Structure 1
Amino acid sequence: MSKNVFVFIEQRDNKIQKVGIELLGIARQLADKLGQDVVGMLVGENVKGETGVLFKHGADKVIVVEDPMLKEYVTEPYAKAIYEVIKANDPEIVLYGATSIGRDLAPRLAARIHTGLTADCTKLEIDEETNNLLMTRPAFGGNLMATIVCEDFRPQMATVRPGVMQSVNVDKTDGEVIEQQVAFTDADMNVTIREIAKHDNKKKDITEAKILVSGGRGLGGPEGFDELQKLADVLGAEVSSSRAAVDSGWIEKDRQVGQTGKTVRPELYFAFGISGAIQHLAGMEDSDLIIAVNKVEDAPIYDVADLGVVGDLNAVVPKLTELIKKEKALKEELS
């Protein structure tokens, strides 16, 4: 009988990725509802030492698969490792991050296990009557939310967007660590890694930023983001955008906030020239403090904003930047 909620814990260079911690949070909620355990699946080389952080964030057990072949992510060895774990343990639910790795790995496993997969979920909950997993995701370009159920096959599987779920901290530092052996052969490594090229990206992922300065169609063009960048620089913030700005080619796709972009929860979110379409609000409405500037008095963005300024952003942004600069300079003089 299928049992327990399993989470694929993504790691890179033996560092647990934030999305895995977030997934443990929602897995904890689902498992508590079902009266089951949360099980982390940690795959790599010399990764066993990272299990403690998983217990702290909600895992009851961690299954570890270690092998030199798993040092770097390669589709076939990782797929084999997770397949063997799932086959041996028969989980009720398996969750993956909707990252480049998760989006590559999850569908391959769904095909091998012969089960369904719902991609890019933004909400997960247990059906009160059937105990099935209700998996909700945007459809038709974000204009519709679809809830999908996998009634006949197990495990129920979903990928979840980074930044959507909230992590939890529990008063627990250890738990059961299970080391599972997987018999790899040379044939399992069907590609040759010739070189690993890494580069430092000066821009932080917007899902990890504490302050976001976001712009929309109201900026009028790509040059509008130059002023937002100046404000972001003095705040130590990152620049983000609405879908309209991305579709217009004014800014990169990885800066997009919303149902078809990224879900963010910064401490402070500035919305400049963003009307507040429901697709955008769904990606930022849980921010701690929202400040909106828009010319239109009844713009929907004001429905979620903590502070709204009806005015011309082209006048507001430069003045705000200068005020913050002066305030910082004054603090430095006094310190």
Structure 2
Amino acid sequence: MNLDEYRGVWIFIEQTDGEIAGVSLELLGAGRKLADKLEVPLAGVLLGEGIKALANQVIAHGADEVYVIDHPVLKHYRTESYMKGVIQLAEKYKPEIFLYGATPNGKDLASAVATDLSTGLTADTTMLDVDLNNRLLEASRPAFGGNIMATILCKKHRPQMATVRPKVMKALEADAARTGKIIEETIDLKEEDMRTKVLKIVNEVTKKASLADAHVIVCGGKGMGDEQNFQLLYEFAETIGASVGGTRDVVEAGWLPHELQIGQTGETVTPKIYFAVALSGAIQHVVGMKNSELIIAINKDPNAPIFDVATYGIVGDALEIIPKLTEQLKQLKNEKGGEVSYA
């Protein structure tokens, strides 16, 4: 393989029913930085049916080029059809870096493409950079249970590929004045040749608010002591209109369901305010909340790693501090007639 033939940073643009996934816009922001360092174009890869108009949105969020394959067989995501489209583009244009969102579809597609192209793939990346001397993608992710950060390189194969978790990177503000190149490609796909069929799309509706969408989060750790003490956080959260989450230890102890776990093996969140209560701040937790706008940590240990990422820190016993905060905020809420915004 002649590595010098490969140039450019590509982002797989995931879309459903004409709406681009947030993680794809976030990756355009990260890809823009990588492309500028390498002095190469940033391109989006857009597959689907009737999706050409989305190319302008991709350009507005940082892309220089957009490769578009518009075909009826690509209306709904299927591994086989999308893999064929992506591989056709990659073999023709030879990108050196190709990034995907770590969504169910993104992870499925990336692994299939990596296998067919005989290249490497770093999963669930949380940090991206490039070594300019060797033009190597430095894809970093927590390893060994989150105890260390591993930086993974793909030295001998191209494209260098990685999936990146939603909410880890930041999207650029859309610039409608940006201009770019739209490259339309055709592909030979026949529905009768597809080994899987989409029979029905079921959109489930839930009344539960997603932690990923919460503006204020109160996250508790094992330092709360037991499930009964954890109820103090629910009362505090209710007072300030926040959602409650927990660390892996809390979930494994059975105090919270898995969908409320924050961290490497749970949700990645970016609220306006994040209360980190009685949790140490292990790497596997921090990667899931470090991009919060304001982080307030409460911990008895003044040397707890969580204070390294906190905006404000309170050293003390959460079992004493949380009830006092709840009481004072309730009083403030009553004085203001119940109209108090904490976000």
Q: What is the CA-CA distance between 1:234 and the residue it aligns to?
A: 4.3
2:181 to 168, 176, 179: 176
Residue of structure 2 in register with 1:301 after alignment: 306
Q: What is the CA-CA distance between 1:96 and the residue it aligns to?
A: 0.4
What letter is aligned with 1:35?
E
* Cα distance change, pair 80–309 in 1 and its aligned pair in 2 (3 A): same
Question: Matched residues in 2 for 1:94 and 1:230: separation?
Answer: 45
What letter is aligned with 1:135?
A
Deviates more, 1:219-228 or 1:156-165: 219-228
Check whether the contact 1:76–1:188 (CA below 8 A) recurs between aligned residues.
no
CA distances 1:128-148 after superposition (whole Å, capped 9, x unpaired): 311111121222111222212
Q: Do structure 1's residue 281 and structure 2's residue 294 form an aligned pair?
A: no
Q: Do structure 1's residue 78 and structure 2's residue 82 form an aligned pair?
A: yes
- 1:279 is paired with a residue whose SS is helix
Q: Do structure 1's residue 159 and structure 2's residue 167 form an aligned pair?
A: no
Question: Matched residues in 1 for 2:339 and 2:248: separation?
Answer: 42
Q: Do structure 1's residue 103 and structure 2's residue 107 form an aligned pair?
A: yes
Q: What is the CA-CA distance between 1:333 and the residue it aligns to?
A: 7.3
Query: Which ranges of structure 2 fall in alignment gaps of 5 or more residues?
Result: none
- 1:246 is paired with a residue whose SS is helix
2:244 to 239, 243, 254: 239
CA distances 1:43-66 after superposition (whole Å, capped 9, x unpaired): 122222222321221111111222
- 2:195 is paired with a residue whose SS is coil
- 1:269 is paired with a residue whose SS is strand
* Cα distance change, pair 53–229 in 1 and its aligned pair in 2 (3 A): farther
Question: Matched residues in 1 for 2:15 and 2:53: separation?
Answer: 12
Check whether the contact 2:168–2:291 (CA below 8 A) recurs between aligned residues.
no
Check whether the contact 1:203–1:238 (CA below 8 A) recurs between aligned residues.
no
Residue of structure 2 in register with 1:123 after alignment: 127
Residue of structure 1 in register with 2:11 after alignment: 7
Question: Matched residues in 1 for 2:81 and 2:267: separation?
Answer: 29
Question: Matched residues in 1 for 2:52 and 2:258: separation?
Answer: 35
What letter is aligned with 1:238?
S
Residue identity over aligned pairs, in percent, reads 45
2:226 to 209, 221, 225: 221
What letter is aligned with 2:220?
G
Residue of structure 2 in register with 1:264 after alignment: 269
Q: What is the CA-CA distance between 1:230 and the residue it aligns to?
A: 4.0
1:68 to 69, 72, 97: 72
Check whether the contact 1:268–1:288 (CA below 8 A) recurs between aligned residues.
yes
CA distances 1:137-191 after superposition (whole Å, capped 9, x unpaired): 2221112222121111111111111111121236444422222211111344322
Kindly report the root-mean-square deviation, in angstroms, between the aligned alpha carbons of the 2 structures.
2.5
Q: Do structure 1's residue 41 and structure 2's residue 45 form an aligned pair?
A: yes
1:30 to 27, 34, 37: 34
* Cα distance change, pair 168–318 in 1 and its aligned pair in 2 (3 A): same
What letter is aligned with 1:186?
E
* Cα distance change, pair 69–220 in 1 and its aligned pair in 2 (3 A): farther
* Cα distance change, pair 230–10 in 1 and its aligned pair in 2 (3 A): farther
Question: Matched residues in 2 for 1:193 and 1:260: separation?
Answer: 30
Check whether the contact 2:37–2:132 (CA below 8 A) recurs between aligned residues.
no
Residue of structure 1 in register with 2:151 after alignment: 147
Check whether the contact 1:216–1:241 (CA below 8 A) recurs between aligned residues.
yes
What letter is aligned with 2:133?
E
Deviates more, 1:276-285 or 1:88-97: 276-285
TM-score, with structure 2 as normaliser:
0.88
Check whether the contact 1:142–1:260 (CA below 8 A) recurs between aligned residues.
no
Question: Matched residues in 1 for 2:239 and 2:339: separation?
Answer: 18
Q: What is the CA-CA distance between 1:313 and the residue it aligns to?
A: 3.0
Check whether the contact 1:294–1:310 (CA below 8 A) recurs between aligned residues.
yes
Deviates more, 1:295-304 or 1:149-158: 295-304
Residue of structure 1 in register with 2:325 after alignment: 320
TM-score, with structure 1 as normaliser:
0.89
- 1:284 is paired with a residue whose SS is coil
Residue of structure 1 in register with 2:216 after alignment: 211
Residue of structure 1 in register with 2:199 after alignment: 194
Deviates more, 1:121-130 or 1:299-308: 299-308
Check whether the contact 2:147–2:282 (CA below 8 A) recurs between aligned residues.
no
Question: Matched residues in 2 for 1:77 and 1:303: separation?
Answer: 46
What letter is aligned with 1:138?
P
Check whether the contact 1:215–1:240 (CA below 8 A) recurs between aligned residues.
yes
What letter is aligned with 2:249?
A
2:257 to 249, 252, 258: 252
Check whether the contact 1:77–1:188 (CA below 8 A) recurs between aligned residues.
no
